[in-house]
Amino acid sequence: MCGRFSRTSPAEAIVEQFSVTSIADVDLRPRYNLCPREMVACIAQHGGERRLGALRWGLPPRGAINVRSEGAGRRFLDAFRRRRCLIVADGFFEWRTEGALKVPHFFRLKSRGPFAFAALWERSRDVDTTPGAAILTCPPNEIVAAVHDRMPVVLTGDACTQWLEAHEPDLVRLADLLRPFPADQMESYPVSPFVNSAHNDSPECIRPAGGALRLVPGVTSPRS
């Protein structure tokens, strides 16, 4: 699953990376520890317009923050057909159990650039409540598997366009996007328990704790 993530890339990089054509009311200040039920930056397609705005992290009506990709097309068929979106991020956290401790680890692209989580959004029954979104998850790649048995569906480049723009005849092809992101394009390292508190939101959340951790051969240490 994915229960915390970061989004620190500048607005200009996000707009360029995802070919955003319009921006709604959204706070794009750097966030190092985004938590469930907070407002997150999302991108949705409206006709020929690609709009960047804010949704609450948690899918109505029960506030699910993650949805298993394997069953999303059946369990949330209407949203899968009509309400797909991208949640903007540049890193995410998972926790590994080590004895009595749960050690947080930070995952990001080696490029350090922004990426997107494949997500679904839904309106609330309360018309005055902001619509919410949930991140799709899939089996882990080699680097995440050393820490957790699931990972968020990470999309970049053309995969983002396919996820947003697919029409009814193309929905079967979307399943090809819901797969583990290549491990050789990612890096990971343990971070301080400082990130465990939802009240903490600073660069300390993503700072390496006690040096880098190599999880799979060929995965490089985080750069200073």
Determine whether 94 is an active site residue: yes
What is the residue type of 132? Answer: G
Q: Which of 2, 42, 85, 205 is catalytic?
A: 2
Phi, psi (degrees; rounded to nearest 5) at 92:
-145, 160
Secondary structure letter of residue 44 according to DSSP: E
Q: Which of 65, 56, 4 is nearest to 33 (CA)?
A: 4
36, 59 contact by CB (below 8 A): no
Residue corresponding to tokens 């092809």? 173
Residue corresponding to tokens 């997150």? 40
Strand 91-98 relative to strand 151-152: parallel, antiparallel, unpaired? unpaired
Measure the CA–CA gap between 222 and 224, rounded to whole angstroms: 6
3-state SS class at 67: strand
Q: Which of 42, 85, 94, 160 is catalytic?
A: 94
3-state SS class at 5: strand
What is the residue type of 119? Answer: A
Measure the CA–CA gap between 176 and 181, rounded to whole angstroms: 11
Say which residues have a Cβ less than 8 Å from residue 158's Cβ, sequence separation at least 6. none
192 pairs with which residues across the strands? none
- Enumerate the active-site residues: 2, 94
